[in-house]
Amino acid sequence: MLSWEEVPQAFGIEVEVRRAMSIVTDVLRKAATKKSSKPSTDMVDIPVTPGLLAKHKEKYDAAKAAKADLELSEEALLSEVSPVYVEKLRETYVNSARLNEDNIEATVSWKDAYSKIPIDKIEEIKDLVGDKYDEFFKEVNEIVVKDEVASNPNLLEELIKAVGPDTFSKYFDVGQHVKPTTRFTEERHRTLSPEVNTQLDVTVRQYKPSVRIKAK
């Protein structure tokens, strides 16, 4: 998958990306496609040794229940830790916290990573962060050569010769999303109010922090 910045190097095209509504942005907007679900495929029935599947299901159900129980326990831990962590972020940025209890130590780490934000959420985010938008967010274009083009030498040759505004969507699947910047991660709680951050959390979903636990 090529990012927009990589397209010039890949195809020898020099492109200047401007924030103003340019022809490039217009082409990408028109070419942007939603992922369609793949059609279901036929299945074949295969017999197995009697009892094997039942034994596997028993272990599967037990593992699934244990995982669900662990996730609930982790959620309880994070619900207590996260508010204190956010208070710290209003003073300075850190990406992890250490927890101690008797002979047990745990580390909770927050990643500078978020779920993809749909492009149609831009105005909603701008309303919340105001003139911080350009510092805190960037618009990302993901461009993929369609399978039917990549497997056809004639179309590949045509692609190299004829990439342009009128034919762009013929060759590329385009996905668009908004991505928070590292500056957003580090400064949001110092520069935006708690109320605004709470509203942002509905759309700007940071990846769940990881928890590592060990005996001292």
Query: pLDDT of 109-127, one tens digit each?
Result: 999 999 999 999 999 999 9
3 within some domain: no
DSSP string, 60-102: HHHHHHHHHHHHHHHHHHHHHHHHHHHHHHTT---SEEEEEET
9 within some domain: no
CA distance 187 to 92: 8
159 within some domain: yes
Domain span at 178:
53-215
46 within some domain: no
Distances (CA, A) of 146 to 52, 155, 169, 174: 42, 10, 10, 10
143 within some domain: yes
98 within some domain: yes
Residue pointed to by tokens 């924030």: 19
Tokens of 137: 């967010």
Strands (E), the chain: 2-3, 96-101, 104-109, 117-118, 137-145, 172-180, 210-215
Instruction: Name the residue among 178, 216, 171 with its Cα closest to residue 200.
Output: 178
Could you tell me if 180 and 114 are in contact, meaning their C-beta atoms sit under 8 angstroms apart?
yes
126 within some domain: yes
Q: Is 176 helix (H, G, I), strand (E, B) or coil?
A: strand
Split into its structural domains, the chain has a count of 1
Per-residue tens of pLDDT for the chain, all 216 residues: 445 455 444 444 444 434 434 555 666 666 675 555 566 667 888 898 999 999 999 999 999 999 999 999 999 999 999 999 999 999 999 999 999 998 999 999 999 999 999 999 999 999 999 999 999 999 998 888 888 887 788 887 787 777 777 777 777 777 889 999 999 999 999 999 999 999 999 999 999 999 898 876
Angle of CA points 47, 53, 57, to nearest 5°? 150
Phi/psi of residue 4, nearest 5 degrees? -60, -35
105 within some domain: yes
